[in-house]
Amino acid sequence: MDVLRMMRGAMPDVQWNAEEVIAEGDKVMIRFTMSGTQTQPFMGMPATGKPVRVTAMNIYELKDSKIVREHSVPDLFSMLMQLGMLPVPGSK
């Protein structure tokens, strides 16, 4: 929930769109696209007003129909490049 609050705080228009869902036993994997515009500070970085669009994958472990564990792999590197916080490879 803290991560969701942080993302919504930095990008009030943030959206997550599920691209692929795989379920087996008590685990569910979701590959999704996250998009939004950074209008507020994010991880100590000032607002840029720039839009971002990145892929992420989460694996959820369920018990009694509730999420008991989450493993998240967002593409933060691409997000930081899109926000201008890291140089884009090949650019000068």
**All domains of the chain, ordered by start, with CATH?**
2-82 (3.10.450.50)
3-class state of residue 66 by DSSP? strand
Confidence grade of residue 54 (pLDDT, cut at 50, 70, 90): very high
Whether 29 contacts 57, CB under 8 Å:
yes
Question: 70, 71, 31, 27: which is closest to 54 by C-alpha?
Answer: 31
Q: How much of the chain, in percent, has pLDDT values that exceed 70?
A: 97
Mean pLDDT, the chain, whole residue set: 91
**pTM of the predicted protein model:** 0.77
